[in-house]
Structures are given as structure tokens and as C-alpha cells.
Structure 1
């Protein structure tokens, strides 16, 4: 009986742990960030089409908030800004086909099991045998099931350059794959991941995991 209780508690904990959605991102940043940068003033560099794109402007606002958190200051006058910031993003789907075994555990079905093996008795055909432990009765593979689903690759690239001369100082790419197909819902986490441990070690890939907030 203690074994049954332990298994039930473990299953419940696994279910509760699986309820939280996590955005997992692979982040790689290349940088030549100067230690003596005199000013962190910046402007966004974008095309006319991007300037009139409401989705782009929304993501630009997310990047602005992260930069301001790091001490950067946006300038209205392009001529006085020391840095330029540009961003690009995309989302693409791929199909996944899964084949997995179907396992039946007679422990949960009583004497005959889910498919009728054994004679009447508690958890198996040998109930009444003092040396028979029904709780260690081996699960049986009874078939297989197949199903399909889609995964979505969400990608974000942010580049910071010197306004004068165009020298690249920070070039970060964030790749995140998951079942969530809404780029606006995922983008706040991609942007946060892009500036985790800024500027970080150049060219060293790392993984960032962020828990999805309830409102998302």
C-alpha cells in the first residue's frame, strides 16, 4: 500500500511540474563591446516598410525596454546618437511524426488486466500465493500509437553598431523551438533572452529558459 501511495504522489508531482510552460532559447552573441564607451545613446535603424509595420514597432518597443533597463538612452535626433540598433525576426513551422509504444500496466486493472489475461484475483493470476508481489508485475507492451504535430522555430536577430562608421559591437541571434505558434506571445521572452548576461562571452552559445507568465 505504501508503494501505491508513493507512486500516486510521484505521478501527481510530475503532472503539476508539467503545467508550467517554459520558453527555451538557444542564444549566441558575438561582440566587441568597448569597455570605455562614452555614451549609450541610440536610435533604431529600420526601413520605411518597417517604420509603417505595427508588429515591428511593437517588437521595437520590447527591445527599447530591455536597452533602457541596461542603461541605454534612446535619442530623437539621429545625428547625436552614438549607436544604431536593428532587429529582424521570423517564424517557421515543421511537421513532426511520432511512433511510440502503448504500455498496459495490469496493476491498475484488477485480476484480469486490461486485456483479459489471468484468472480472477487481485492484480494478477497468482493472487493467494504468499510469495507473489502483485505490485512488481511487469507492464506489457500491447501495441503502438502514431500521431503528428507541428513545432515552430522562432528566430530573433539584434545588431548594435556604432552610428559613425557602422562598426558592429553586438550581434545576437536567438533561436527557440516549441509548440507555441504565436510570435507576439513568444517575442517578449526572445528579447529578454537576447540580453541575458549582456554583453557576455563572444561566440559562446548558451541556453536561456524563461517561465511563461500567466497573462501570456
Structure 2
């Protein structure tokens, strides 16, 4: 009985590093890819005013869009561009849009390492290939895992691709002066977390070098961790 209790204590202690490793993995920042292009974008203080509008008409007038437009306005104000009272009064129209996909499934190891398994290509042994076949997830193709020993060291999780687009046009002529995209892949699908970070990435070293794509680290989402007794 004492021996069993000793093994139980050892097992309980052995799981602590695994739990901590899992929490550390969850806290890993995701990366935002930012691409920006510009053509004669006026510098702050040159007498140009701006107004943020929805690039997608379906978002115009929505409370959600207004919340995220405030983030863009804060960044434009920080740079020194004055905000106009209305689109008609602005010399620059900042067109803003955001989106997130339905997510796609991925597979990762949880500690048990099979030398024949790759989470991207399945098992290399021929008789396992029937369990790993392509499936369609939303807009992209992924791979579904059907091995009967799936729970023996592997787990599936969902990743989401989110993105924002921003364009700056001259209001009088419609001339395009700037356009940029920021995109990230993460395990979170909460726009309230993703959009503010993507906006921050968009305005990092704004307006950037035209035609250059940068990878910018985004802070991980803070989550409440419940202590286990």
C-alpha cells in the first residue's frame, strides 16, 4: 500500500513539468505578417485631415466597427494626423476592414513520440496511410487524423487566421496613397483580442518601406488558469 502511494506521488510530481510546459506553449506569442505599400502619402503636419470609414459596407454604422475604428484613429492621432469631423470634411479617407476564418484543425504531439509519425504528413509506414487523408476546412485544405491510437500522445486543436486591411485614399480624387495588410495565425478566435494587436502591428514603424513584408510578434492572449487541487 505504501509502495502504491509512493508511485502515486511520483506520478503526480511527474505531471507538473508537463502542465507547466503546456501553459508555456499557450503563452507563446503568435506572429503577424505585415505588408505595406505607399505612394506619396503626405507626412503628418502637412495640413491633411483623415476620417476612418468601413471598407466593407456591411460593417458601416456597426458598433463593433466603431470600436475598432477608434483604435485606428488613436494610432493616426498619435502620428500627428488630425481627424476630420466627417468624411466630407476629410482630405484623406482611411478605409478599414477586418476578418477571421472558420479555423482549421492541426495535430501536435503531447509527449509520446512515434518515430514514424509527422503531424504534417501522418505515418510514414504504408499501412497507416489509410488513416490520414485530406479534408476540407472552410477555405483551406487540411488533414484529418483517423488513427485508432489517436489519443496515445497526440491531440488536435484549431487554429484561426485573422487579418485586417487598411487603405488610405485622397478623398477628392480617390487616388490610392497607402494600402496595408496584417495577418496572423493563432489559437484564439476572439476579435476583441486579435484586432487591437493587428492594428498595433500595422502601425509599427508606420508607414514602413513600400513593398516590404515584416513579421511582428504579437503578445499572447491572457487567460485565467484554474488551479487544480
- State yes or no: 1:26 paired with 2:36: no
Distance 1:96 1:205 in 2: 26
CA offset digits 1:161-197 (Å, max 9, x no partner): 1111011111010110000110111111000111111
Query: Which of 108, 112, 123 is 1:102 aligned to?
Result: 112
Distance 2:200 2:108 in 1: 35
Would the aligned equivalents of 1:44 and 1:86 in 2 still touch at CA under 8 Å?
yes
* Structure 1 residue aligned with 2:99: 90
Q: Secondary structure at the match of 1:59?
A: helix
Would the aligned equivalents of 1:97 and 1:146 in 2 still touch at CA under 8 Å?
no
Q: Quickly say closer, same or farther: Cα 1:212–1:163, change in 2 above 3 A.
A: same
Q: Secondary structure at the match of 2:212?
A: coil
Give the greater-gyration-radius structure (CA): 1
Residue 79 of structure 1: CA displacement? 3.6
Q: Secondary structure at the match of 1:193?
A: helix
Distance 1:48 1:35 in 2: 26
Distance 2:106 2:223 in 1: 31
CA offset digits 1:12-58 (Å, max 9, x no partner): 9x958656442420000111134667323111233765333111111
Q: Quickly say closer, same or farther: Cα 1:72–1:177, change in 2 above 3 A.
A: same
Q: Quickly say closer, same or farther: Cα 1:45–1:62, change in 2 above 3 A.
A: same
TM-score (norm 2): 0.63
* Structure 1 residue aligned with 2:134: none
* Structure 2 residue aligned with 1:198: 206
**Which runs of no fewer than 5 residues in structure 1 stay unpaired?**
1-10, 105-142
Distance 2:96 2:24 in 1: 35
- State yes or no: 1:58 paired with 2:73: no
TM-score (norm 1): 0.66
Residue 80 of structure 1: CA displacement? 3.3
Distance 1:88 1:61 in 2: 13
* Structure 2 residue aligned with 1:39: 47
* Structure 2 residue aligned with 1:208: 216
* Structure 2 residue aligned with 1:188: 196
Would the aligned equivalents of 2:106 and 2:159 in 1 still touch at CA under 8 Å?
no
Would the aligned equivalents of 2:100 and 2:161 in 1 still touch at CA under 8 Å?
yes
Alignment of 1:143-182 (within 5 A): 145-182=153-190
Distance 2:211 2:200 in 1: 18
Q: Secondary structure at the match of 2:102?
A: strand
Distance 1:157 1:202 in 2: 15
**CA RMSD after TM alignment:** 3.1
Q: Quickly say closer, same or farther: Cα 1:17–1:177, change in 2 above 3 A.
A: same
